[in-house]
Amino acid sequence: MNFSLEGRTYVVMGVANKRSIAWGVARSLHEAGARLIFTYLNDRFEKPIKDLAATLEGQDALFYECDVTNDQAVSDTFAQIKEDVGTIHGLAHCIAFANKEDLQGEFVDTSRDGFLLAHNISAYSLVAVSKAAAPLMTDGGSIVTLTYLGGERVVKNYNVMGVAKASLDASMKYLANDLGKHGVRVNAISAGPIRTLSAKGIGDFNSVLKKIEEEAPLRRTITQEEVGDSAYYLLSNLSRGVTGEIIHVDAGYNILG
């Protein structure tokens, strides 16, 4: 079995900084020899991501601005990628957003706008991006998204994001069914809590981490690198028989009743 991703090209969406899960994915793919394409929200994030990518030795990365709420931006981005590199072999979607006020208190208080915003950025974006990216996967391909246990069961404070993740999980399965006939697989990783920019400023995050350390089967939290390595498996030929699946990379926490 050849574990190398040499000669293969992957799009990584959602690197905000070195703590991002997307950065863990990028590093695992880079170590396996892949060529990387990064997308970022707007020009505010261009320099930070270029500086980070410059730390990947021998990596000849490409960069594109892509706000996933903008259909034109999504189709322009992948049209440009097609022109610049031709074929891609996979994509990591590591994007989510909800208004801060909707991530505390009770879910019942969620506004219509807050609900639609969270679903637009965190769930519909996978559909839009998959439709634009799949035609570039002419040798077959693999798409991976990032989800969380709060989409399967009620988790305090996760609120509208839990409902958006349930939509993301179902979207992943319907996409897997549609794109399978074109040789494109679609899967999700359900990551355990990791301290990232998104998690910053969220009340109680320390107690969430402490609970995992006390109760998860492995008695510890997980890292960006561990999510990155599972994404590498899902984005490589090692997982060629797997689609429509959610792999929990969470130290086993989800099996607890």
Residue 58 CB, nearest distance to ligand KAL (Å)? 28
Neighbour-count burial of 206, counting CB atoms closer than 10 A to its CB (0-12 exposed, 13-18 middle, 19+ buried): exposed
Rounded Cα gap, residues 28 and 238, in angstroms: 14
Rounded Cα gap, residues 110 and 98, in angstroms: 11
Closer residue to ligand NDP in complex, CB, 16/34: 16
The two three-digit tokens of residue 138, written as one number: 């002419």
Closer residue to ligand KAL in complex, CB, 31/67: 67
Position 16 contacts ligand NDP (CB under 6 A):
yes
Q: How many residues does the chain have?
A: 257
First vs last C-alpha separation in the chain: 38
Q: Binding ligand KAL by CB under 6 A: which of 170, 197, 218, 238?
A: 197
Residue 19 CB, nearest distance to ligand KAL (Å)? 10
- Is residue 212 within 8 A of residue 251, CB to CB? The reply is yes
Closer residue to ligand NDP in complex, CB, 56/205: 205
- Is residue 25 within 8 A of residue 227, CB to CB? The reply is yes
Rounded Cα gap, residues 171 and 13, in angstroms: 18
| The entry of ligand NDP, ligand KAL, none that residue 94 binds, CB within 5 to 8 Å by partner kind | ligand NDP
Position 92 contacts ligand NDP (CB under 6 A):
no
Clarify whether 64 is annotated catalytic: no
Return the residues of window 66-105 that contact ligand KAL according to CB under 6 A.
Answer: 96-100, 103
In the set 10, 158, 232, 233, the catalytic residue is: 158
Which residues contact ligand KAL (rule: CB under 6 A)?
16, 96-100, 103, 148, 150, 155, 157-158, 161, 193, 197-199, 202, 205, 208
